[in-house]
Amino acid sequence: MAGVRREDAGRPGILSVQRPIGLSAPWIDGREEELVLATLRSGQLSLGPMIDRFEAALAERVEAPFVAAVSSGTAGLHLCMQLSGVGPGDEVVTTPFSFVASANCVLYEGANPVFADIDPDTLNLDPAAVEAAITPRTKAILPVHIFGYPAELTELEAIAARHGLAIVEDACEALGSAYRGRPVGSSGHPAVFAFYPNKQMTTGEGGAVAVASEQEWELLKSLSNQGRSDSGEWLTHARLGYNYRLGDLAAALGLAQLERLDEILAARGEVAERYRALFAAVDGVEIPLADDETHRRSWFVYVVKLPVGSDRNGVIARLAADGVASKPYLPSIHLQPYYRERFGFREGMLPVAEDVSSRTLALPFHSRLPAEDQERVVDALVRALG
Ligand SMILES: Cc1ncc(COP(=O)(O)O)c(C=O)c1O
């Protein structure tokens, strides 16, 4: 198809080249331009007032007492390991079905991630598997609200309380989600958000940590700013820190996106609902779990499960030939080459996560995906599954 000449497109017997449909796209509008330009003109590009405004607006949004902005979700997760006292030789029980950063942050501190299997429907940590994975070395539990679907916090909190463990929430995919009627980020445990451009809202690159106390917030601000001392003296470094600062241009973009977050989330919800309706007429493709009384998802990606035995690579290639982007999403972390080599992990250790990882496929999904593109995606997937 790539070889079809433009003048041939549309002629009988000649296939036209289809307009590509990408996996994701940020929704940037006038307000974002306005705030970024004002910040640019202000000359205060780092450690300026936009950071404070962004942190305050995000804290209000997720109903957390304090929020510290950082340079990425990964940076936020790393700092939360320090906040929780995770150190060399400790174990952190976490999910294999996530983006690699949620386990890497444990390794950064010389601790070991211990993977517990997931629930096949929610795709989040199975609390019974978490309980079974706890040893005398366990220091913390790190649940991920995968694809924006809230993890089982009540059960995990009970386990953590029984064993005296910390909880750090990876909420990188879950801004706007709610658990038992409260926003993700408001639980009192440190919760990390991320703002890469495929997320619900973006700062380009960036992240933030919601915490319950001013003390934790101050520590995060210091650690992300080269360990500077609380006395405010610029070149006094009280602890080993990092440059994990978010800049003011990024914060300005984030503030504008936050102002529009309800509009953005509503649009994403409509796109998800259209997919649900289109897939109602398709057999064999399993769509994302619906919300219930305790779990309200904020739509991050649209990931379907293909039928058992499908040739997923073939499906991806056939979709690509139709101009439709798709990705196997997500590979299990314990089977990543680095983890296999370092820890000797093999297939069969976490059967639910491995089965899910072998069949899940992310389809094009973003706030302004047109209905006709969604129809094309679903038609192409039906053909690709043959
Ligand atoms: C579940 C999860 N954890 C962590 C991250 C890391 O965030 P970042 O890319 O901002 O470092 C991401 C996003 O990429 C993610 O989806």
Measured from the Cα of 98, ligand 1's closest atom is: 1
Residue 239 scores a pLDDT above 60? yes
- Mean pLDDT over 336-362 rounds to 98
pLDDT tens digits for range 80-111 = 999 999 999 999 999 999 999 999 999 999 99
- Mean pLDDT over 231-239 rounds to 80
Measured by CA distance, the residue closest to atom 12 of ligand 1 is 172
Residue, of 132 and 3, whose pLDDT is higher = 132
Under the banding of pLDDT at 50, 70 and 90, the label for residue 229 is: confident
pLDDT score, position 232: 63
pLDDT tens digits for range 112-121 = 999 999 999 9
Can you give the three-state secondary structure of 161-172, one letter per residue?
Answer: HHHCCEECEECC
pTM for this model (two decimals): 0.95
Residue 348 scores a pLDDT above 80? yes
Is 221 an annotated catalytic residue? no
Q: Which sign, positive or negative, has the C-alpha torsion 300, 168, 295, 265?
A: negative
- Mean pLDDT over 271-275 rounds to 98
pLDDT score, position 5: 37
Give me ligand 1 centre to Cα 179, in Å.
20
Which stretches within 312-386 are classed as H helix? 312-321, 337-343, 351-359, 371-385
> What is the rounded CA–CA span in Å between residue 376 and residue 20?
11
pLDDT score, position 14: 46
Residue 247 scores a pLDDT above 80? yes
Pairing assessment for the beta strands 360-363 and 169-170 based on DSSP bridges: unpaired
172, 193, 199, 332: residue to mutate for ligand 1 pocket, most atoms within 8 A of CB? 172
Measured from the Cα of 206, ligand 1's closest atom is: 10
Angle (CA) 22 26 29, round 5°: 130
pLDDT tens digits for range 21-36 = 999 999 999 999 999 9
Residues in the chain: 386
Measured from the Cα of 74, ligand 1's closest atom is: 11
pLDDT score, position 18: 85
Does 147 contact ligand 1 (Cβ within 6 A)?
no
Query: What DSSP designation does 302 have?
Result: E
Does 113 contact ligand 1 (Cβ within 6 A)?
no
Residue 293 scores a pLDDT above 60? yes
* Lowest-pLDDT range of 3-7, 257-261, 370-374, 381-385: 3-7
Catalytic residue among 199, 221, 305, 327: 199
70, 71, 72, 74: residue to mutate for ligand 1 pocket, most atoms within 8 A of CB? 74
Of all residues in the chain, the percent with pLDDT exceeding 90 is 93
Measured by CA distance, the residue closest to atom 8 of ligand 1 is 73
Strands, sheet with 182-183, edge to edge from the N-terminal-most edge strand? 182-183, 178-179, 295-296
Under the banding of pLDDT at 50, 70 and 90, the label for residue 236 is: confident
